[in-house]
Structure 1
Amino acid sequence: MFSRVQKMKSTAVYALTPRGAQLGKTISDQMKADFFLPSAFAADFDAIPFTGMLRVVKKNFSLYLRHIFIASAGIVVRAISPHLASKYEDPAVVVLDQEGKFCISLISGHLGGANRLAKEVAELTKGIPVITTATDSAGIVSLDMLAKEKKLKMLNPKAVKHVSMALLSDKPVMIFDANNSLGLKNKDNSIKIIWISREEDMRDDLPGVRVTFKAVKNPSPGHLILHPKCLIAGVGCNRGTNEQEILEFIANTFEGKGFSLHSLKCLVSIVNKNDEPGLLSAAKKMDVPVIFLVSDELKTIKPPHESDLVEKHIGVKSVCEAAAMFVSGNKKLLVPKLKTRNVTLAIALEV
């Protein structure tokens, strides 16, 4: 149900010749990247030695988010090709000549960030970034890149091609984005947008983008679904409550209300619970932070439900509702207090 993303190292720089090594040393120092050179002269540049390009790429490819090669494009293509999975998973790969004149975005230009990386490297080398992705070449906004920048979770990334094709063909694209999470409203955009005010008005016969915290089970192939991190879960629990009970209650509540867990931004509770193993483990499993509030912060909120019994035990009349409302900045709750034997839960939409 829940998984934690494997943490990857940031950037690896590779060169094959002593002249390329000089440029690679400058780039790696500026970017604080790991620097790899053939063992014959690696020590001269304080680099990590390797004895074969194919071998070092095989070892490193899945360990780094970004790879910069000072080598011919042909050599790099042959080295990385056995390890390519898809544009949704592959790291960024940039190739440049040993003079730094041309910085080519080779793999994962958008989602992997190679286009941006090529521009970064070109700035360092005073070279020219070579970007060949169609939307960039046409000067059209790339919705997958924009979604990544805004930290929106793409539910169905394959739908990007339908939306991009419409943009490149100068055709209109529907967008439902109630809170302007993409930041495209009220801008002089180079694309034709049909703004949709109600999610249910999205038409299946037109390409579109839906920015929503609601779960979407069978989206139209031409609709890109983006989930913003905007739901705040206030949680209270009895001492010793296990991780599984908290996880299942949150998951079942989200499913029952039709919310996507991808939109869960954080858990919030009272500071008394900052050493509660089950709560901390549940947050770690969901890969979201936990915010702990002091009593004085919770007391500034007037929640729908208050409890004298809760106040008797921990000094405030509400934990889950008040916590969700305080952090979200919202005076209304999407989901008022629900409870199991050991857990209370309330959900608010961040404003």
Structure 2
Amino acid sequence: MISIVAITPGGAELARRLHRELPHSAVFVPARLAQGGDQAFHQPLAQVLPELFAQARGLVCIMASGIVVRVLAPHLRGKGQDPAVVVMDEAGRFAISLLSGHLGGANDLARQAAAAVGAQAVITTATDVNGLMAWDDVARREQLAIEPLRNIRRLNSLLLERQNIALVDRRHRVNHYFLPQSNVSLVANFAEAMQSRFAGRVFVTHRLLGEMQEREDLLLLRPRDLVVGIGCNRGTSAEEIEEVMRTEFAAAFLAPSSIAVVASIEDKGDEEGLIRFAENLGVPLRLFSADELNRWDAPSGPSPHARDAVGAHGVCEPAALAAGNARTLLIKKKKRGNVTLAVAEVG
């Protein structure tokens, strides 16, 4: 949700105009200014603004930028966690992208707010000023995880400096954003990208690359394209499931940050450990009936235990294939302790 916060009568009116134009937004004003549909607050702004900052996807603050900076400064967490923050003057002349311009989406939110009320968007991030797409902006748009986040500054600087950058993007997820830029070259594989003529490298991959991932000139963009099928005994903890997942992912050189979905059978819909495992990853849990799973072949063969327990010839393998609409598995059924696991790539 986008929280639009105003503290003056004129700001409140502008907030309501924005609310009518911005989907999934809400207006927050002091109780003395509240009208129908507004969210009224009685606490001091210094308490309300940090609370909204912690909860909202984005903040539009119709007030002086100095107020916002002073109130939020102690609550900043980092580039990867902070929401978008945009500041507007109550006359509606300017929409300033103040915080999390790329990853949080503040630059786009400033443009949307400006377009809604006829204001001027103020964008100060260097790549935007120079008409370039930044790596973290593209990652947000394409829902790619970034590893390591600390290398964003280096790779964006190389864009600005027109240094040669190798891009490995076999599924063509992001290359269309960058190929018009003469310093970004699409190359076929990691070996070619490691040639000395490149000052930086960006790999779009769900593969782990070992010690190579520690390089300061390398950015990994992780597509959300892996489905983890899970079977487990009753009462299995989220911690045990996660330990099995991380062990098998490491053995197969797969990145956990590329997990898009956790899948299992409907009988596990009340399994607290499985539910919490998916929640901890921040991904949905998809459940299938036994009949649905039986439409998919289990490459490791039918399981008498699964057939007797839940009526399906398998759980983890057919669940991964069904949720990913995939034909093959990257990890066939592995059993460790109370957990069975399989992994498919989204088809």
- Calculate the TM-score normalised by the size of structure 1: 0.84
Pairing of 1:125-274 with structure 2 (within 5 A): 125-182=117-174, 184-185=175-176, 189-203=180-194, 206-216=199-209, 218-274=213-269
Change (3 A) 1:142 1:117: same
Preserved contact between residue 317 and residue 343 of structure 2 (Cα < 8 Å): yes
Letter in 2 for 1:139: G
Aligned residues of 2:103 and 2:139 also touching (Cα < 8 A): no
**Preserved CA contact (<8 Å) 2:167 2:203:** yes
Shift of 1:301: 2.7
| SS of match in other structure, 1:214 | coil
- Distance across 2 between alignment mates of 1:22 and 1:310: 64
Comparing 205-214 with 143-152, which one deviates more in the overlay?
A: 205-214
Partner of 1:5: none
Structure 1: gaps of 5 or more residues: 1-9
Give the direction of change, closer, same or farther, for the CA distance of 1:295–1:222 in structure 2 (3 Å limit): same
Partner of 2:19: 28
Q: 1:275 to 1:48 in 2, by over 3 A?
A: closer
Equivalent AA in structure 2 for residue 337 of structure 1 = K
- Aligned twin of 2:107: 115
Specify whether residues 76 and 284 from structure 1 end up closer, same or farther in structure 2 by C-alpha distance, changes over 3 A only. closer
CA contact (8 A) 2:307 2:314 kept: no
Cα distance in 1 for residues equivalent to 2:252 and 2:39: 54
CA contact (8 A) 1:140 1:191 kept: no
Match of 2:335 in 1: 339
User: Which deviates more, 308-317 or 261-270?
Assistant: 308-317
Q: Give the 5 Å matches for 1:33-44.
A: 33-38=25-30, 41-43=32-34
CA distance in 2, matches of 1:55, 1:241: 40
The 10-residue stretch of structure 1 (293-302 or 98-107) with the greater mean CA deviation from structure 2: 293-302
8 Å Cα contact 2:321/2:329 also seen in 1 = yes
Counterpart code for 2:181 = S
**Alignment partner, residue 7 of structure 1:** none
Distance of 2:74 and 2:234 partners within structure 1: 51
- Residue by residue, what CA displacement relative to the aligned partner does 1:212-255 show, whole Å, maximum 9, x if unpaired? 21234543112111222112122223344444432322221112
For the residue of structure 2 that corresponds to 1:334, the secondary structure is strand
For residues 52-91 of structure 1, give each alpha carbon's deviation from its aligned partner in whole angstroms, at most 9, with x where no partner exists: 5445435544343322222233443344344444433333
Paired with 1:196 and 1:88, the residues of 2 have a C-alpha distance of 28
> Aligned partners of 1:127, 1:224: CA distance in 2, in Å?
36
CA contact (8 A) 1:36 1:42 kept: no
Deviation at 1:278, TM superposition (A): 3.4
Rounded to whole Å, the distance in 1 between the matches of 2:170 and 2:273 is 35
Tell me which of 297, 302, 311 is aligned to 1:302.
Answer: 297
Are 2:228 and 2:261, in contact at CA under 8 Å, matched by a contact in 1?
yes
Preserved contact between residue 159 and residue 223 of structure 1 (Cα < 8 Å): yes
TM-score between both structures, scaled by the size of structure 2? 0.85
Structure 2: 5+ residue runs without aligned partners?
Answer: none
**Which amino acid in structure 1 is aligned with residue 267 of structure 2?**
N
In structure 2, give the amino acid aligned to 1:11.
Answer: I
Q: CA deviation at 1:188?
A: 5.8
Q: Note the alpha carbon deviations across 1:170-191, whole angstroms, 9 max, x for none.
A: 2321112222232x25986235
Q: What is the distance in 2 between the residues matched to 1:204 and 1:311?
A: 50
Q: Which residue of structure 1 aligns with residue 282 of structure 2?
A: 287
Q: Which amino acid in the other structure matches residue 207 of structure 1?
A: G
Distance 1:44 1:227, change over 3 A: closer
Alpha-carbon distance in structure 2 between the residues aligned to 1:108 and 1:175: 24
The 3 A distance-change label for structure 1 pair 336 and 64 is closer
Q: Offset of 1:51 from its aligned partner?
A: 6.7
Q: CA deviation at 1:18?
A: 2.0
- Deviation, 1:196, is 2.8
2-structure distance, mates of 1:15, 1:312 = 60
CA-to-partner distance for each residue in 1:280-331, whole Å, 9 max, x for gaps?
A: 3332333332222233433333332213624751444332222222332332
RMSD of aligned Cα (Å): 2.8
Aligned CA distance change for structure 1 residues 244 and 307 (closer, same or farther; 3 Å): same
3-state SS in 2 of match to 1:146: helix
- Partners of 1:161 and 1:102 lie apart in 2 by 27
Q: 1:275/1:91 Cα in 2 relative to 1: closer, same or farther (>3 Å)? A: closer
Q: What is the SS of the residue equivalent to 2:214?
A: coil
